[in-house]
Structure 1
Amino acid sequence: MRDLGTGFGYLLKGQRWAVGHGRWFGFGLIPGLITAVVYVGALIGLAYGADDLVDWATPFADDWSGAWLGLFRGFLVFLVFALGLLLAVLTFTAVTLLIGQPFYESLSEQVDKSVSPDGTAPESGLPLLRELWISARDSFRIVLRATAWAVLLFALGFIPILGQTAVPAIGFCVTGFFLTQELTSVALQRRRVEVREQLAMMRGRRLMIWGFGVPLVVSFLVPFVAIFLMPGAVAGATLMVRDLLGEDDEENEDASPGDPATVRLTVQDPDGR
């Protein structure tokens, strides 16, 4: 259970880092703002068009009595919008990271430099277009996995009692896992860690991943909160990657007590500054 607290701690550290570095915080807001405008427009369109979509999909109910027809189609409209909202939550980070790859790459690199004893950050050595292609490819794979889970959980939601208790809880855990994977991929891609290795690594530390991702998912349910938490989420994910890969431990082992690098790391670690 301690890993749950560790994951949540990285989320808080990331937010503190972002707030403490105002210029980078503002820089990291730009992709989220762009994505939010697109998603809000899409959800508004879905809200206005859900009635027509349900009417078109349920012609067999046209002859039902008014009360039953209204209840049935009203319930389906709610489910359609709920599914759209769930998919928006699941894909918001993937789309934002895709749009903001250069932004978050720079932010994550700055976080690495701020906590590294020698002030350097790992680099992939790949051209920008190649990095964008890898990011888009991996994001597409993760979105497919997340969408499959969303459809499965949506179907299980119709099961009495289970659908109203266990399924929502599982949904938060699944969404938190994939959300964290997307966020950590920024730093892991610079370290040339493939998406399969990323998923395997995260499955080995599920509690820490949930401790980071689930609170973030819950906060993302509040409109526009995701925009302001994204810079700190990327920063926290970068700090967590260093833990997952054992980089901080290696640096502490390499540095002797009297080494200036050790002194520098001790000063910078509390808030990542």
Structure 2
Amino acid sequence: MRDLGVGFRYLVQGQKWVGRHGRWFGFGLLPGLVTLVLYVGALVGLGYGADDLAAWATPFADDWSSPWLGLLRSTVTGLVFAFGLFLAVITFTAVTLLVGQPFYESLSEEVDRSQGGDVPESGLPLWRELWISARDSLRVLLRVAFYGVLLFACGFIPVIGQTVVPVLGFCVSGFFLAEELTAVALQRRGVELKERLTLLRGRRMLTLGFGVPLTLAFLVPFVAVFLMPGAVAGATLMARDLRGETAGDDRDGDSQENDQERGNLPSFGGDKGVHHLPH
């Protein structure tokens, strides 16, 4: 159970890291804002069409008397929207990371650099990194869809569907959300999806301690956009823990600014870690 607190602490440390490095926070916001606009439109459309979808899915109840017809279709409508929201929480991160691959990879490298030691680099061209990210995200999405359908079906079970199933849903969401975020750092280390999942399952409570609170926070409108840069930073710190890498003490922002003035650290625009960022 201690790992639950450790996972949450990495999430908090990531937010603190971007708070001390405001320029990285600003760049990290851009992909999230673009993705947010797309997802808000999709969820609004789902909200308007959920009633029609529920009626289409339950033609057998057309002749049912009141209040059973309304009760059934209201339940199905709620489940449809909940399922859409469930997928949105998971896929939002994947799509945002794909859109912001150059930004988040550079941010992750800078977090590694702040911890001291070597900074792993994939050495792959950008198009190759994007392809790998998209491929792995699709594989994760298929897993999420499987669990989503299973939980959706279990939602019809009295009592359990309204208590246990939502909790399991948040755990599943949190686990795969953590996988998507740690993939930024682990992919640079040459860790394939199968091995990443094994690492996360081996520290399941750590993963849930990081992913579940973030999933709950992402349910609040617009919060996901502002938490994404820090989530990537925190996931990088957690990835180092999963790999057993020695972490140095991250210096505070004033210390790093002084180092930059003395030339010990490269400036933001000229840092090798930001070679993908537009000038």
Secondary structure of 1:160 counterpart: coil
Q: Deviations over 1:154-197 (max 9, x none)?
A: 11122222222222222211111100000000000111100000
Letter in 2 for 1:82: A
Corresponding residue SS for 1:227: helix
The match for 1:14 is: 14
Q: Secondary structure at the match of 2:246?
A: helix
1:96: which partner in 2? Answer: 96
Residue in 2 aligned with 1:196? 194
CA distance in 2, matches of 1:85, 1:209: 21
Calculate the TM-score normalised by the size of structure 1: 0.88
Going from structure 1 to structure 2, the CA distance change for 1:96 and 1:49 (only over 3 Å counts) comes to same
Q: CA deviation at 1:55?
A: 2.7
Instruction: Name the CA distance, whole Å, in 2 between partners of 1:162 and 1:77.
Output: 18
Alpha-carbon contact 2:20-2:253 (below 8 Å) kept: no
Q: Distance in 2 between matches of 1:93 and 1:101?
A: 11
Corresponding position of 1:60: 60
Instruction: State which of 213, 216, 235 in structure 2 corresponds to 1:215.
Output: 213
CA distance in 1, matches of 2:220, 2:99: 22
Using the TM superposition, give the Cα deviation of residue 113 of structure 1 relative to its aligned residue in structure 2, in angstroms: 1.2
Counterpart pick for 1:151 among 142, 149, 152: 149
1:113-147 alpha-carbon deviations (Å, 9 max, x no partner): 11124xx5210111111111000000100111011
Alignment CA distance shift 1:234-1:58 (3 Å): same
What is the TM-score with the length of structure 2 in the denominator? 0.86
**Kept after mapping to 1: 8 A contact 2:115/2:249:** no
C-alpha RMSD over aligned residues = 2.0
Q: Distance in 2 between matches of 1:22 and 1:246?
A: 28
Counterpart position of 2:274: none
5 Å matches for 1:33-48? 33-48=33-48
Q: Secondary structure at the match of 1:116?
A: coil
Structure 2 counterparts to residues 221-232 of structure 1, below 5 A: 221-232=219-230
Whether contact under 8 Å (1:25, 1:231) holds in the other structure is yes
Deviations 1:209-231 (A, max 9, x none): 11111111111111111111110
Deviates more, 1:228-237 or 1:156-165: 156-165
Aligned partners of 1:39, 1:138: CA distance in 2, in Å? 21
The equivalent residue for 1:114 is: 114
Query: Which residue does 2:276 correspond to in 1?
Result: none
After superposition, the Cα gap between the structure-2 partners of 1:247 and 1:27, relative to the gap in structure 1 and judged at 3 Å, is same
TM-fit CA distance, 1:92: 1.2
Q: Which residue of structure 2 aligns with residue 185 of structure 1?
A: 183
CA contact 2:171–2:208 (8 Å) conserved in 1: yes
Counterpart in 2 of 1:77?
Answer: 77
1:268 aligned to 2:266? Answer: no
Runs of 4+ in 1 over 4 A off after TM superposition: 269-273
Contact (CA 8 Å) 1:115, 1:272: kept in 2 or not? no
1:3 maps to amino acid: D
* Aligned equivalent of 1:175: 173
The change in CA–CA distance for 1:73 and 1:212 in structure 2 (over 3 A counts) is: same
Residue 60 of structure 1 and its aligned partner are, at CA, apart by: 3.1
Query: What's the counterpart of residue 257 of structure 1?
Result: none
Change in Cα spacing, 1:167 to 1:77, as seen in structure 2 (3 Å) is closer
Unaligned runs of 5+ residues in structure 2 are 257-279
Give the count of matched residue pairs: 256
User: What fraction of aligned residue pairs are identical, expressed as a percent?
Assistant: 69
- Separation in 2 of the partners of 1:3 and 1:63? 53
Report the alpha carbon displacement of residue 270 of structure 1 after superposing the two structures with TM.
Answer: 11
Aligned counterparts of 2:68 and 2:4: Cα–Cα separation in 1: 46
